[in-house]
Structure 1
């Protein structure tokens, strides 16, 4: 008997999915799944982590020490770095740069600075501003040195001046250093020497070196990545060190694997050195889980999926095209774009804890959230401001006596009072405010999904939506109606509430290596072949060092390309040919042109200008837990499709008059059972809302597949 454990920390709850595998008397392997939830405990997130483990152990009827002693592995979606940035609980960072280049991070890049901003902000040029600098100028020191583009040392490192600069930063209380020198991607000699000097002068300081963070040409983006890594380095290092000590004290003897934003697991030690790789990893885990389930199970659709992960704080949106999650070569923090390969997950401040307020003229929802502390008013934990969860309760979507299987009792009157106060400035009562807030948040999320698909060159109507997270299945059918999606899947029914934790547990070990190149067309196949060989040797070696067998390692290749006279650089999937020749290079160029037109519009390319190859990247993956999501038996024997009860529900699209609505016990439903909306399906941890015209069925994995009628209102 063994346990596979996945843990994901959210803004409101920490989710723990545990899969227990055991051999039956007949020799068959039996997998049992349980979900444990606990309130997140910022800033000491390890407390909520352990509490979620304890809750899952109780579901199995075993002690926590016994479960950890028999754990095959613990896989963690870690949001500590993300939260540190959002809440400005970061380290005080000093920046070391080449002489004459201190201002590059303050000048910024106009395109990158505006790239992720709303359209109305971009259009209003007079209102555009630069964000606060990540590192103030008085904490930026210029270093006398210079390396040329070909790696030759033009000016030797002035170590005496460097020591003086580092000393000045230490006197100002700097606790972490970011080192980013020109052309260090070609020759990192000076960066490595500076790192050694910092460690001599401040042995406990956290140090990030740009040539170790990302080996890609592009001074500004590489510097920002290095700064972000140092900003979150100390809090992440402290958190993971404490968590590992706690787990060891509780009896866990294995290693801790951390989810990365690139879509795979990395060792805890690697995450402590490069925490920038973990930013946004929780939502990425859900995307990976959705791809794994869709590729292994018959849930309908053709591998084109929109993922909608709605938790307490945000809605996180990802895309899967033809079974593959969409990725990009850069990440962003506010208006700062930086080099880190990541799966493309976009977030909007709409969640169950999003606060409802009035400005005297209209009602607004989010992006501010009540979070885990104090939480929504109905949680009775000190929160008094109305939230989306309060609106869902007053509308009748949530059962006040069965939230989280009855583990949390919800106060309807507290929710009504908070909503009435929020709506009072515009003359709305509690029900009106709840209905308006629900409509607003559903449309905000629909807009976010529509924008995400359009920016990637896709039509949302061609996709199936996978809805998960604590609030995703409550809102999914309303969102889908708004954007024209015809099918919604709630993966593994009750376990959708902890789906990102499931995604973490089913993820592969991942190593990414890349190399900066500067090559014009026609590309030299032999140079490309040598680069692939070097990169693949490095990624394979790192996985072999983890004890992974060579025949379990899979390799994927990517290239960053652009037109020679255009600025829009994109990542494309490179051919998997054993040796590149002229035909393979032509195939790579064709892929680039096709992807470019998908992103920027037909006819937007300019092949006559030629092509530029700027980076090559290799991803190496290997299974760790061996968990196959389509093999998880989440379906019950069931057979009963009779409602367990009725309650009045306000369907805002049909007015404010409550309608008696059938309530179904999800645990009593079996494979192929069907339910027509309007109806609500209740599981201990997940509530699924079916609107008028919806039809739900239970598939072989226990997932709920919802078909929306054409023209549904």
Structure 2
């Protein structure tokens, strides 16, 4: 037998999904292992989750790893940025351009900020610089826009600059020179000079991190890469040592924010690709399920990954995850293509508090330690998990399949203390808090979809993570979505880990362009083979043969007198005038969908700013949607003892609610709300007026139209 293992580290728990594939051709078996996350030594929780999954399969972790391929959603880079525990970075830039990161871009620095902050103009200010001015050095050199060397690199003064920043204790060096996107010789030589002086220094160069036209965004991407380079290198080194001690001999595959897997060596060199990669994996898994089986009634899907700390929101349109060409770190926008996953501070660990006459929930979380009050680990501030157990949605004796016994009385007492200034008892505070968090989640999803040009009513909502089943139906109702899917039942609790293990290898290569229409097809044709060769070379290092690679081309265009750049799919083959026309037509249609009819102005033509090639290849033979339960009769003990539940918005009185053991349900089962379906790792709430059933993939599908 062999194992396919996916591990995702969250703010509260580390999830491991382990699929056992019998050698005799028998049915595969999947189990979820969970362990508390262990910052800052995340590898400890990683190994703990592997051990928990192995125990579920009845084998030793060493035996599992000896025949396993491990896929990992790595959050170390993300956490380092969020917690400001990054490396001390020095910047080498073309002389006269070291102030680029301080000047910023006036509009773009507010692009991903909350609407309330954008509206308060008087309160707006620039963020703390990523690199202080004393660590920015100007380098004597100059390359022109067409790649010619106008001024040769002065190596003597460059060495002096390098020594100055190293003497000030930098742990990483970022190098971003003018027009290195078209000629990278000076950047590569500077990297050699840094390593001559400091051989172990982490060096990040913009021509490899983000070879794009756009000095500011390219420089920020290079700096962010340098900020997280040393902690990422330290973590991966420690993790690989621990894995080897436990019998693992294969290469470790890491999830990237672009939506595919890269090997650990690539992740060490360009760790910025891992920022936000955990939530991306859940989106990839949901897209596979929606595309293969159209679970929930279609291929348009909102994903709501509700964890202990955050709600991560993704969008799938016509079976394809929505992408964006830039990412952000606070007010800093940078060039790294990523799936458009947005996070807000709302989850099971969100802290409930009162401020004056107002009850507030989140964004701060109780985290893994001390956790919710009901966990009995020393937490004193009530959370959404405390509210759910007080209202009756969670069985206090069956949390995580009975591994944790929840202290309902302690949770209610903590909620009563918070609600007392508002005249609320513990149960009333719990009901109000749950309604607030559901509304906050719905608002965040609505904002995401409308900014992408979509109507929530055209979508199904996939709710996963530990809290997706608890909140999914209430969020979807508020949005006007048509249905809710808890993908593959209990697997929803570790869905991101499952999505990682079902993902493809993906490598993206891009090249800067500066073409004005009419575009010369020959200029485009000579770029595609170069990009595809670079993609194939990197995938070969992951063990992918050339004939297994699928190439996907993209072009990024803009209207010459407008600022928005939009990446669109580009056809394969050799380009001619007709191919170019079709590329432009695709861009105009997508631009109008995003920004509104008549929003584009083609009066002075178009600009082609970059070409990209994505290379994908299947690494795992795991297929989403093929592991669900069989049909047949529902087990006689599937119906558990009814439980009194307080449903907010219905007068505050407890109502007897049907409860089912999800593991005993079979394909074709249906029940009307109110009802609760309990799995060992997740709880699915079916409100009044809805109908829930088990579909052929094993997913719980809640039809909200029954309440119409």
Place the TM-score, normalised by the shorter chain, in its bin. over 0.9
Note the alpha carbon deviations across 1:199-233, whole angstroms, 9 max, x for none. Answer: 11111211101111111111100000000001111
Task: Tell me whether 1:274 sits opposite 2:254 in the alignment.
Answer: no
Task: Tell me whether 1:384 sits opposite 2:386 in the alignment.
Answer: no
Partner of 1:62: 59
Measure the CA separation in 2 of the matches of 1:638 and 1:295. Answer: 28
Check whether the contact 1:493–1:634 (CA below 8 A) recurs between aligned residues.
no
Secondary structure at 2:22's aligned position in 1?
A: strand
Partner of 2:627: 632
Partner of 1:50: 47
Note the alpha carbon deviations across 1:381-438, whole angstroms, 9 max, x for none. Answer: 1111111111111111111111110111111112112212222232222112111111
Shift of 1:601: 1.3
Partner of 2:156: 160
Partner of 2:342: 346
Task: Tell me whether 1:192 sits opposite 2:185 in the alignment.
Answer: no
Partner of 1:12: 12
Partner of 1:622: 617
Aligned residue pairs total 707
Partner of 1:529: 525
Correspondence list, 1:327-406, <5 A: 327-406=323-402
Give ranges in structure 1 of 5+ residues lacking alignment: none
Measure the CA separation in 1 of the matches of 2:669 and 2:681. Answer: 20
Secondary structure at 2:107's aligned position in 1?
A: helix
Correspondence list, 1:131-146, <5 A: 131-146=127-142
Shift of 1:637: 5.2
Task: Tell me whether 1:225 sits opposite 2:221 in the alignment.
Answer: yes
Measure the CA separation in 1 of the matches of 2:92 and 2:384. Answer: 45
Task: Tell me whether 1:589 sits opposite 2:587 in the alignment.
Answer: no
Task: Tell me whether 1:236 sits opposite 2:227 in the alignment.
Answer: no
Partner of 2:32: 35
Secondary structure at 1:631's aligned position in 2?
A: coil
Note the alpha carbon deviations across 1:428-478, whole angstroms, 9 max, x for none. Answer: 221121111111110111011111111111101101111100011100000
Measure the CA separation in 1 of the matches of 2:664 and 2:117. Answer: 50
Measure the CA separation in 2 of the matches of 1:387 and 1:541. Answer: 49
Check whether the contact 2:557–2:566 (CA below 8 A) recurs between aligned residues.
yes
Shift of 1:143: 1.4
Measure the CA separation in 1 of the matches of 2:649 and 2:679. Answer: 25
Partner of 1:599: 594
Secondary structure at 2:603's aligned position in 1?
A: helix
Note the alpha carbon deviations across 1:618-650, whole angstroms, 9 max, x for none. Answer: 000000011111222345755147621111111
Measure the CA separation in 1 of the matches of 2:119 and 2:173. Answer: 37
Measure the CA separation in 2 of the matches of 1:625 and 1:114. Answer: 40
Measure the CA separation in 2 of the matches of 1:372 and 1:705. Answer: 30
Check whether the contact 2:558–2:564 (CA below 8 A) recurs between aligned residues.
yes
Change (3 A) 1:598 1:311: same
Q: Runs (4+) of structure 1 moved beyond 4 Å?
A: 634-638
Secondary structure at 2:381's aligned position in 1?
A: coil
Secondary structure at 2:438's aligned position in 1?
A: helix
Partner of 1:487: 483
Task: Tell me whether 1:669 sits opposite 2:681 in the alignment.
Answer: no
Measure the CA separation in 2 of the matches of 1:88 and 1:399. Answer: 38
Check whether the contact 1:634–1:703 (CA below 8 A) recurs between aligned residues.
no
Check whether the contact 1:636–1:667 (CA below 8 A) recurs between aligned residues.
no
Partner of 1:609: 604
Check whether the contact 2:464–2:493 (CA below 8 A) recurs between aligned residues.
yes
Check whether the contact 1:638–1:668 (CA below 8 A) recurs between aligned residues.
no
Partner of 2:700: 704
Shift of 1:591: 1.2
Measure the CA separation in 2 of the matches of 1:505 and 1:365. Answer: 34
Secondary structure at 1:630's aligned position in 2?
A: coil
Shift of 1:544: 3.0
Measure the CA separation in 2 of the matches of 1:703 and 1:363. Answer: 35
Measure the CA separation in 2 of the matches of 1:545 and 1:218. Answer: 30
Correspondence list, 1:249-264, <5 A: 249-264=245-260
Measure the CA separation in 1 of the matches of 2:299 and 2:612. Answer: 25
Pick from 680, 688, 691: which aligns with 1:692? Answer: 688
Check whether the contact 1:376–1:390 (CA below 8 A) recurs between aligned residues.
yes
Check whether the contact 2:483–2:705 (CA below 8 A) recurs between aligned residues.
no
Secondary structure at 1:357's aligned position in 2?
A: strand
Partner of 2:436: 440
Deviates more, 1:29-38 or 1:8-17: 29-38
Task: Tell me whether 1:646 sits opposite 2:642 in the alignment.
Answer: yes
Secondary structure at 2:5's aligned position in 1?
A: strand
Check whether the contact 1:488–1:705 (CA below 8 A) recurs between aligned residues.
yes
Task: Tell me whether 1:206 sits opposite 2:202 in the alignment.
Answer: yes
Partner of 1:171: 167
Measure the CA separation in 2 of the matches of 1:212 and 1:654. Answer: 57
Shift of 1:541: 2.6
Correspondence list, 1:280-359, <5 A: 280-359=276-355
Measure the CA separation in 2 of the matches of 1:559 and 1:255. Answer: 32
Shift of 1:37: 0.4
Note the alpha carbon deviations across 1:120-162, whole angstroms, 9 max, x for none. Answer: 2222211111111111111111112111112222222222222
Measure the CA separation in 1 of the matches of 2:421 and 2:356. Answer: 5
Give ranges in structure 2 of 5+ residues lacking alignment: none
Shift of 1:264: 0.3
Shift of 1:563: 0.4
Measure the CA separation in 1 of the matches of 2:417 and 2:555. Answer: 54
Q: TM-score, normalising length from structure 2?
A: 0.98
Shift of 1:545: 3.8
